[in-house]
C-alpha cells in the first residue's frame, strides 16, 4: 500500500513538473503567422533572431497569404499575426480576434512584364492607366487569386482602372496555379509565360537577376504596401502567450527593430526591401 502511494505521488509530481515545464516553454515562445512576403524575404528571421537575443524569447514563424493567415489565426494556435490587407485586418479586429493593430513597415507594389512591353506601360507612374492599357489590349496578366494582401491590393487597383476582377474573369487574366505559394512562385510563372504581374518590390529585388521580366511600372502612391502586427485576443483561445505577444509587438515598433528594417537587404541589393513605419519611428524621423 505504501509502495502504491509512493508511486502515485511520483506520477502526480511528474505530471506537475511536465505541466510546469510546458507552461515555461510556452512563456518563452511566441507563435507568429505572417504574410508570405516578409516571411520568404528573410526579414522575419532576422527580426526573430534579434528579439530572441535581446529577450530570450523564441519566435516560431509560419507563412501564409494574408487571407489564409487570418483564417488560421481565427482557429487558434498563434499569438500574433503580421499581415497587409487593411479591410481584412479591420474585419478581424471587429470580430474580436485581435487586440490591437500596429504599423511596422511598408514597401510598394510594382508591375512587372515582358521586356518588349506590348502594353506600353514602361515608365508610367499611374497604376490605373497602366492596368487599363493591359486590360484594353487583352495582354496576358497573372494574379495570385488567393485573397492574399497582394491579391486584394491588385483587385483594388484594377477597380481604379475600371475593371471588376472579382467575377467573370476575362480570358487574358489568369489565376496562377501556385498563387497561394506566394509572390515568388507566381512571378516565376509570369516569367515563364511572358505575362504581366503585380508583386511587392521585395519580391522583385529577390528575383530580378533570374527573371525574364522587367520592372515596368511603379511610383503610384496607391501602390504602397503597409504591413502591421495584430496581437491575438487571449479571451478567444486557451494557451495564448499574451505577455510574450505584447513584448514582441512593443519591440517591433521600437528603435532596434525599426533600424533593422531600414537596412535589411541593402548589403545584397543596394536598397532596402522594406521601410520602417511604426508610429514611434515616424514621430522621431519625420
- pLDDT tens digits for the chain (286 residues)? 545 444 444 444 444 443 443 344 457 899 999 999 999 999 999 999 999 999 999 999 999 999 999 999 999 999 999 999 999 999 999 999 999 999 999 999 999 999 999 999 999 999 999 999 999 999 999 999 999 999 999 999 999 999 999 989 999 999 999 999 999 999 999 999 999 999 999 999 999 999 999 999 999 999 999 999 999 999 999 999 999 999 999 999 999 999 999 999 999 999 999 999 999 999 999 7
Chain-centroid distance, C-alpha 132: 27
Domain residue spans of the chain? 25-106+225-285, 109-223
Torsion of CA 93, 94, 95, 99, to 10 degrees: 40
Q: Cβ–Cβ contacts within 10 Å for residue 34, how many?
A: 24
CA nearest neighbour of 222 among 157, 165, 273? 157
pLDDT at 3: 53
CB-based contact 172:184 (threshold 8 Å): no
Query: Fold for domain 109-223?
Result: D-Maltodextrin-Binding Protein; domain 2 (3.40.190)
pLDDT at 26: 56
Q: Which residue's entry shows cell 537587404?
A: 265
pLDDT at 4: 43
Q: Which residue's entry shows cell 511596422?
A: 104
The predicted-structure confidence for 92-111, as pLDDT tens digits, reads as follows: 999 999 999 999 999 999 99
Same fold, 25-106+225-285 and 109-223: yes
CATH for 25-106+225-285 is: 3.40.190.10
Residue 239 three-state SS: coil
The number of CA neighbours under 13 Å toward the Cβ of 95 is 15
Q: Cβ–Cβ contacts within 10 Å for residue 140, how many?
A: 19
- How much is the pTM? 0.86
Q: Which residue's entry shows cell 503567422?
A: 33
pLDDT at 97: 98
Amino acid at each position: 500500500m505504501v509502495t502504491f502511494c509512493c508511486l502515485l505521488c511520483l506520477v502526480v509530481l511528474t505530471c506537475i513538473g511536465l505541466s510546469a515545464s510546458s507552461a515555461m516553454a510556452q512563456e518563452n515562445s511566441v507563435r507568429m503567422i505572417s504574410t508570405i512576403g516578409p516571411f520568404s524575404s528573410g526579414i522575419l528571421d532576422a527580426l526573430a533572431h534579434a528579439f530572441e537575443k535581446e529577450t530570450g524569447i523564441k519566435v516560431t514563424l509560419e507563412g501564409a497569404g494574408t487571407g489564409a493567415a487570418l483564417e488560421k489565426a481565427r482557429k487558434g494556435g498563434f499569438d500574433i499575426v503580421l499581415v497587409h490587407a487593411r479591410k481584412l485586418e479591420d474585419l478581424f479586429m471587429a470580430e474580436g480576434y485581435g487586440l490591437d493593430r500596429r504599423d511596422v513597415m511598408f514597401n510598394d507594389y510594382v508591375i512587372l512584364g515582358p521586356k518588349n512591353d506590348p502594353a506600353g506601360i514602361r515608365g508610367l507612374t499611374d497604376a490605373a492607366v497602366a492596368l487599363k492599357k493591359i486590360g484594353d489590349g487583352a495582354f496576358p496578366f497573372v494574379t495570385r487569386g488567393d485573397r492574399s494582401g497582394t491579391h486584394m491590393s491588385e483587385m483594388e487597383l484594377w477597380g481604379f482602372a475600371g475593371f471588376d476582377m472579382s467575377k467573370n474573369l476575362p480570358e487574358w487574366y489568369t489565376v496562377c496555379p501556385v498563387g497561394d505559394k506566394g509572390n515568388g512562385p507566381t512571378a516565376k510563372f509570369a516569367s515563364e509565360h511572358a505575362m504581366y504581374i503585380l508583386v511587392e518590390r521585395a519580391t522583385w529585388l529577390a528575383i530580378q537577376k533570374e527573371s525574364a521580366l522587367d520592372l515596368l511600372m511603379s511610383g503610384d502612391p496607391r501602390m504602397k504596401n503597409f504591413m502591421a502586427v495584430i496581437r491575438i485576443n487571449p479571451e478567444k483561445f486557451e494557451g495564448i502567450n499574451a505577455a510574450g505577444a505584447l513584448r514582441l509587438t512593443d519591440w517591433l515598433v521600437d528603435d532596434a527593430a525599426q533600424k533593422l528594417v531600414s537596412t535589411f537587404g541593402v548589403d545584397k541589393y543596394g536598397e532596402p526591401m522594406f521601410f520602417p513605419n511604426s508610429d514611434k519611428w515616424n514621430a522621431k524621423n519625420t
